[in-house]
Amino acid sequence: MLERKLGRSGLEVSAIGLGCMGMSSSYGPPRDRGEMIALLRAAVDRGVDFFDTAEVYGPYTNEELLGEALAPLRDRVKIATKFGFQIDPSGRKAWTGLDSRPEHVRSVVEASLRRLRTDHIDLLYQHRVDPAVPIEEVAGAVHELIAQGKVRHFGLSEASAATIRRAHAVQPLAAVQNEYSIWWRRPEDDLLPTLEELGIGLVAYSPLGRGFLTGAMDQATVFAAGDFRSHLPRFSAEARRANEVLVELLRGFGRRLGATPAQVALAWVLARKPFIVPIPGTTRLARLEENLAATELVLGAGELAELDRAAAAIAIEGARYPAFLDELTGR
């Protein structure tokens, strides 16, 4: 597996990481724990050393899963987790609001360390920007945790360029995590130029469009109970029908290059900038192996330009999030 550096932070990780949320939440019922432990360890065996989780995934159970699976392999992996939500104590829903007060950040880190069965977190993100807490206070709290050795690197998720600059001035950021794919390119407007200027990496979540770009679903797909895609405008049956043209574009390129649509989509992300690391999620070994093989698919300048032109001409149907969630994107 090729390695990539997340900006100028010194944090070097596998060119493709593994997003672990779907193993425990958001995409239907939690998967079998034993099977997911086997999958996580299989990923390490295949060269993946960068794993993404958060306290809110489950909540808590995803960190516990990674702790059990990766503790015997801890010296071979880097684990990223996140803080920033108030967790619903009743368990009726994952979170009830935002909370990035410094005292909350410190308590979350202590709890995450216990669940992850480790003495340090390689990359700690603020999961969503909390407008009630100045970002300088958040960065200062993480700075103290880094000085204590409990955290190695600091990151933000779905933050604006202005917020990134303010945080970076207090505690340098290793990475910003943002949705980025061939069907969500808004980060190219101001985020990517800012990261390149400041020497910060981009960790691209949902690089396969929450599974849509794999070609495994169509307008007739029925989502399982608990799959949050059923609430996303971009995943309505009408939007899926309209957006199939983008999947067909990827299929066409894949036929020419001997690759799957997912591999073309991931190769496209990898080709954008050398400091971008996609973290596609999966719960199946075959999909994991398919995704990792995308590192072997190198798009030439002509192919990349052709794909860019064709994709830019496609109008994507449906908002990324419903309005009540879109306000959490920091935009």
| Domains observed in the chain | 3-212+270-296 (3.20.20.100)
The reported pLDDT for the residue numbered 330 is 44
What is the helix, strand, coil percentage profile of the chain, to 5? Answer: 50, 15, 35
* Residue 276: strand pairing partners: 202
Query: Residue 141: what pLDDT?
Result: 98
pLDDT of residue 30: 95
Give the residue ranges of the chain where pLDDT is below 50. 330-331
Residue 155 φ then ψ, to 5°: -145, 165
pLDDT for 328: 61
Burial 252-275 (b: 16+ CB within 10 A, else e): ebbeebebbbbbbbbbbbbbbeeb
* Integer CA distances (angstroms), 237 to 95, 194, 242, in order: 28, 36, 9
Distance, in Å, from the CA atom of 67 to the CA atom of 5, rounded to the nearest integer, reads 24
Are the beta carbons of 180 and 202 closer than 8 angstroms?
yes
As beta bridge partners, residue 179 has: 205
Question: What is the predicted pLDDT for the residue at 88?
Answer: 84
Catalytic residue from among 27, 57, 180, 205: 57
Q: Report the relative pairing of strands 121-126 and 95-98 from DSSP bridges.
A: unpaired
Our answer to whether residue 57 is catalytic in this structure is: yes
Angle between helices 285-292 and 261-272 (to 10 degrees): 40
What pLDDT is recorded for position 209?
A: 97
